[in-house]
């Protein structure tokens, strides 16, 4: 037996609709890291059926895999192009992938291809991207075929922070400087949190005559909370997409004072019954949930007791009628992925991308 991972494609479609609000052409899906661990083939096909035509991946290999799934989609590669890898360049060209150019060296190299590209400027992340203040001058004279100007909010999850407006202003200035040479240029700044922020606060909308903006939506599609504390009012309509379930391997009666798990980190305060589930940290259930997290069964929450093992988790089921083969929810409609991330002292992105490939994936529609 292995744990079960369910991916609700109907919920995925619902969440996509909550973002695009009838205008899917203005929204691209981020499907890097195998669609955040949920399976790029099924996820991308569903989003395509729902009207999504543009997708972002991290690396060329991911783009090539996605091209085999979607023959006509626009696929952007965030890592850009390596001037030292002719093989990667040929793969980009062969699979009609669009590199997001991050450096002047990448721009000079890609200009020789005359193939489409996006341009990434750094407006405040200090991560990837060209200098926003000088980008127009830096690429002047290069024969680039650019239709998308990309940047990234550093603090979009803090939806009222003034840095969001500052980044918008910086990107708008670069856009204005570049548009004389690239009249069809579009902008892409917002991630899931940024997209919902822009919907809620029109003052942050980047302005421009005839401007076209492409939001890049990732974690929100998959049901994750894109905001820090205080932003929950903007994503109450998003539905959980992911469910993680463990099956009962054994049920045992234990007496008060019984130690549980490695290191005996939990001592039973009273007599009870324990259920051992077939999911552990090798499946992506964080070890920090030991003596901290919970599972859900038959309308009741059951505490995780003892340390989570590589392949097993123990829960205190008390007087619940539990038998071998029963399924417990460890993440899903009753225990959100955001709750698991909080208890594990991490973020939702890490929880989803850390789910193991050995879990049995089940795609559902409801």
Reply yes or no on whether 32 is catalytic: yes
Nearest to 266 by CA among 290, 242, 233, 246: 290
CB 13 within 8 A of CB 46: yes
Reply yes or no on whether 76 is catalytic: no
Q: Which residue out of 76, 175, 239, 262 is catalytically annotated?
A: 262
- Please state, in angstroms and rounded to a whole number, the distance separating the CA atoms of residues 99 and 89: 9
**113 Cβ neighbours under 8 A, 6+ residues apart:** 89, 93
Q: Which residue out of 32, 109, 153, 182 is catalytically annotated?
A: 32
- Please state, in angstroms and rounded to a whole number, the distance separating the CA atoms of residues 166 and 203: 12
Nearest to 311 by CA among 260, 252, 356, 362: 356
Nearest to 227 by CA among 274, 251, 193: 193
CB 44 within 8 A of CB 22: no
Instruction: Print burial letters for 24-61: b (CB count within 10 Å at least 16), e (below 16).
Output: bebbbbbbbbbbbbbbbbbbbebbbebebebbbbeebe
- 278 burial (CB, 10 Å; 0-12 / 13-18 / 19+) is buried
Which residues form the catalytic set? 32, 262
């Amino acid at each position: 037996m292995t744990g079960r991972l369910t991916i609700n494609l109907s919920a995925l479609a619902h969440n996509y609709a909550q973002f695009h609000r009838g205008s899917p052409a203005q929204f691209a899906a981020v499907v890097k890291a195998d669609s955040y661990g949920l399976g790029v083939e099924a996820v991308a096909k569903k989003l395509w059926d729902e009207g999504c035509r543009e997708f972002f991946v991290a690396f060329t290999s991911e783009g090539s895999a996605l091209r085999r799934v979607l023959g006509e989609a626009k696929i952007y590669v965030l890592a850009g192009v390596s001037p030292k890898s002719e093989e990667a360049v040929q793969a980009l060209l062969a699979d009609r992938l669009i590199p997001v150019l991050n450096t002047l060296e990448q721009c000079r190299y890609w200009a020789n291809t005359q193939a489409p590209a996006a341009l990434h400027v750094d407006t405040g992340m200090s991560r990837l991207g060209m200098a926003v203040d000088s980008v127009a001058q830096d690429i002047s004279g290069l024969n680039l075929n650019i239709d998308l100007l990309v940047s990234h909010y550093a603090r979009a999850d803090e939806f009222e922070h003034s840095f969001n407006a500052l980044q918008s202003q910086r990107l708008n200035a670069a856009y204005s400087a570049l548009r004389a040479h690239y009249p069809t240029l579009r902008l892409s700044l917002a991630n899931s949190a940024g997209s919902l922020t822009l919907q809620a606060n029109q003052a942050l909308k980047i302005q421009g005559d005839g401007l076209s903006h492409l939001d890049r939506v990732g974690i929100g599609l998959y049901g994750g909370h894109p905001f820090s504390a205080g932003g929950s009012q903007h994503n109450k309509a998003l539905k959980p997409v992911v469910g993680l379930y463990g099956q009962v391997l054994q049920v045992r009666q234990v007496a008060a004072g019984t130690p549980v798990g490695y290191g005996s980190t939990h001592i039973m305060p009273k007599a009870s019954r324990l259920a051992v589930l077939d999911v552990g940290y090798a499946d992506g259930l964080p070890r920090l949930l030991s003596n901290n997290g919970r599972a859900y069964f038959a309308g009741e929450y059951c505490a995780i007791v003892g340390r989570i093992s590589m392949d097993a988790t123990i829960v205190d089921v008390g007087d619940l009628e539990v038998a071998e083969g029963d399924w417990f929810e460890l993440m899903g409609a009753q225990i959100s992925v955001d709750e698991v991330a909080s208890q594990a002292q991490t973020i939702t992105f890490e929880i989803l991308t850390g789910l193991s490939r050995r879990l049995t994936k089940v795609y559902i529609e409801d």
